[in-house]
């Protein structure tokens, strides 16, 4: 997930823009178009369900299978760049604890989900457990960043970012990768497998490689030509085509970015490829996310059911407990947490990544066709936004981050913990 953090003086950077353009800039910068689309959908579905579902069904495939490819491409591009030498994800050791925590979170979440479904005697819902792997990375990023806003950064290095931020993002990424791996072969709307997909995929990668060899700096040929072939290959083979850009990303032009914040981009350098294209792509992905929220988040209030509560319990309780257990297990194995992270910070981080929202919605729509069971899961994914206030409540109760008890510094200054 890319999060384009606006520079504090962004209004000055775009002095000629209107207030509307500034508002749009703010919405995209804080990934608010998705919640906006979701809010519109929710109201629309409950006011005039017939017109909403008519539109939503017509848009479901193009949005979920085509437009979302841009979003996942952007996510993959961010991750790929972060794995470069010197970047945040390059050191394998940084991954280990979050990986264990994420795996434990998904496992315990799936157990809670399964137990709830079993208790309520709705066995057909068992197969939809992968919704518990979904973590809304944007929400996790902004919530963790807000909670640890006033906290001290790491003791060395001089980067003004709390280690909770990369820890939470790594945890979220691993969890989502687990979900993607599980759901990729079970694309609910897949056509019959027709074969020949391997040839198409080879052609897609070949085109991307050729573009790279030719030092093509424009990114649209990579997306439309190579990405298009890849999309077709996945679709024909029954894999989710929204993942089509993943094999193309490594061939695309990349640029080093600043090291102080994970998943934050530098300011746009107009015309400078590849720096500029990330910003352009960012807007396309945001448009896709708005449509995704609009198409998938419309659920009528009476649509709740076992799937709703199973999803909610699994995300808020199961995954949070699983992450805590996973971290405990990692520590027992002799691994260590990053500096400034202790048990109570881990609990707050675990709650921050309990929001499934976008990814849980995506996994749900992949696993089930439109209908009452899907609506139940969607409502659970939407209600997982409760994880946001719960995170702040927990942070306050546990005195974590910005809610840390102020104490008198030996030199008389007040400091947070």
Partner 1 sequence: MFGLFVSLSLLIAVLGAAAVAEMPQSTAAQNGPAIGPPPAPPPAALQAVRFAVIGDNGTGDQPEFDVARQMVASRAQVPFDFVLMLGDNLYGRPSAREFDDAFARPYKPLLDAGVRFHAILGNHDALDNRLYPLFGMDGQRYYTWARENTRFFGIDTNRLDDAQMAWLENALKRSFERWKIVYFHHAIYSGGTRHGSNIELRVRLEPLFVRYGVNVVFSGHDHIYQRFKPRKGITYFVEGASGKLRKGINASAESAAAFDQDQSFMLVEIAGAELTFRTITRTGRVVDAGAIGAGPTS
- Using CB under 8 A, list all residues that contact partner 1: 49-50, 53-54, 57-63, 65-67, 70, 118, 121-124, 188-189, 192, 220, 224, 280, 283-284, 287, 291, 300, 302, 305-306, 368-373, 375
* 21 vs 339 by CB, closer to partner 1: 21
CB of 97 to partner 1, least distance (A): 38
> Looking up tokens 């104490």, which residue turns up?
407
* 65 vs 110 by CB, closer to partner 1: 65
Measuring CA to CA, which residue among 272, 274, 256 is closest to residue 211? 274
CB of 359 to partner 1, least distance (A): 21
Q: How far is CA 320 from the centre of its chain?
A: 17
* 88 vs 375 by CB, closer to partner 1: 375
CB of 373 to partner 1, least distance (A): 6
Contact 311, 386 (CB under 8 A): no
* 221 vs 328 by CB, closer to partner 1: 221
CB of 188 to partner 1, least distance (A): 6
CB of 127 to partner 1, least distance (A): 9
CB of 234 to partner 1, least distance (A): 15
* 124 vs 335 by CB, closer to partner 1: 124
> Looking up tokens 């992905």, which residue turns up?
285
Helix locations, 297-398, DSSP H = 306-312, 319-332, 343-352, 357-367, 372-383, 387-398
* 24 vs 96 by CB, closer to partner 1: 24
Distance, in Å, from the CA atom of 89 to the CA atom of 169, rounded to the nearest integer, reads 10
Distance, in Å, from the CA atom of 22 to the CA atom of 24, rounded to the nearest integer, reads 5
**Which neighbouring-strand residues pair with 408?**
414
Token code pair at residue 386: 């409760």
CB of 369 to partner 1, least distance (A): 4
Q: Give the number of other CB atoms < 10 A from CB of residue 97.
A: 24
Distance, in Å, from the CA atom of 161 to the CA atom of 399, rounded to the nearest integer, reads 19
Burial per residue of 195-208, b for 16 or more beta-carbon CB atoms within 10 angstroms, e otherwise = eebeebbebbbebb
* 61 vs 202 by CB, closer to partner 1: 61
């Amino acid at each position: 997930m890319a999060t384009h953090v606006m520079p504090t003086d962004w209004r000055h950077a775009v002095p000629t823009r209107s207030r509307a353009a500034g508002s749009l800039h703010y919405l995209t910068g804080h990934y608010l178009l998705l919640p906006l689309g979701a809010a519109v959908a929710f109201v629309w579905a409950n006011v005039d369900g017939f017109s909403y579902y008519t539109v939503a069904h017509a848009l479901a495939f193009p949005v979920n299978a085509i437009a979302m490819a841009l979003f996942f491409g952007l996510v993959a591009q961010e991750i790929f760049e972060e794995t470069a030498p010197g970047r945040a994800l390059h050191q394998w050791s940084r991954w280990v604890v979050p990986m264990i925590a994420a795996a434990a979170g998904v496992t315990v979440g799936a157990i809670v989900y399964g137990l709830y479904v079993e208790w309520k005697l709705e066995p057909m819902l068992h197969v939809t457990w992968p919704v518990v792997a979904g973590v809304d990375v944007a929400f996790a990023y902004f919530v963790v960043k807000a909670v640890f806003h006033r906290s001290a950064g790491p003791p060395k290095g001089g980067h003004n970012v709390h280690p909770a931020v990369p820890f939470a993002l790594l945890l979220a990424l691993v969890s989502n990768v687990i979900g993607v791996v599980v759901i990729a072969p079970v694309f609910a709307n897949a056509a019959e497998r027709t074969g020949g997909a391997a040839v198409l995929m080879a052609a897609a990668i070949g085109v991307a490689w050729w573009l790279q060899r030719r030092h093509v700096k424009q990114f649209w040929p990579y997306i439309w030509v190579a990405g298009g072939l890849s999309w077709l290959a996945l679709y024909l083979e029954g894999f989710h085509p929204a993942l089509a850009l993943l094999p193309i990303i490594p061939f695309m032009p990349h640029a080093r970015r600043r090291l102080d914040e994970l998943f934050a981009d530098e300011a746009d350098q107009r015309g400078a490829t590849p720096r500029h294209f990330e910003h352009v792509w960012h807007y396309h992905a945001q448009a896709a996310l708005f449509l995704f929220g609009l198409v998938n988040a419309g659920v009528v209030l009476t649509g709740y059911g076992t799937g709703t509560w199973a999803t909610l319990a699994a995300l808020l309780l199961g995954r949070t407990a699983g992450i805590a257990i996973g971290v405990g297990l990692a520590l027992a194995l002799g691994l260590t947490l990053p500096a400034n992270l202790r048990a109570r910070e881990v609990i707050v981080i675990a709650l921050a990544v309990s929001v499934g929202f976008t990814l849980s919605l995506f996994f749900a729509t992949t696993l089930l066709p439109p209908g009452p069971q899907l609506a139940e899961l969607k409502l659970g994914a939407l209600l997982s936004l409760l994880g946001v206030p719960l995170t702040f409540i927990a942070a306050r109760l546990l005195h974590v981050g910005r809610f840390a008890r102020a104490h008198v510094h030996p030199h008389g200054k007040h400091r947070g913990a």
